[in-house]
Amino acid sequence: MKIIPYKRRANYYETDQMGIVHHTNYIRYFEEARIDFMRQIGCSCAELEKKGTIIPVVDAYAKYHKSIKFDDEVYVFITLDKFNGARMEFSYEIRFCDTNELAAVGHTSHCFVDTDHKPFSVKRKLPDIYKKMTDSINLPLPSVNK
């Protein structure tokens, strides 16, 4: 399976007084890419929530290399690094579409909880999701043709 990188254009409202995308939006870009990744592997977050599964963020980190400005197009590359059935960790690279320059890197950690916010093992409760997730660990980052 190949994951298609998430592509987006920076919106004007995401910029700060200096004309660059505010640092908090990079974490949003990570989330958008993660939702897209989950959809691509057949684990729709909307469907999981309908089944009573919530995937909260436990930890988020970003390191900024080059500022994204209004109307810049970027790819968000995502890799599922770790998954044990109860927790998972993703890493991210944000790169400019036109130059492939690195804008930011980061990672997020998540757990699975039910509607009462109690953690659970996906392996026992949702074995089909467990299989899709384990099959998606450390998929290679795709190259993007310009």
Q: Which residues are catalytic?
A: 16
Q: Count of CB atoms within 10 A of residue 114's CB?
A: 13
Q: 75: closest CA among 103, 47, 53, 49?
A: 103
**Segments of the chain assigned E as strands:** 6-9, 57-64, 73-83, 87-96, 102-111
Q: Are strands 102-111 and 87-96 parallel, antiparallel or unpaired?
A: antiparallel
User: Under a CB-based contact definition with an 8 Å cutoff, are residues 80 and 37 in contact?
Assistant: yes
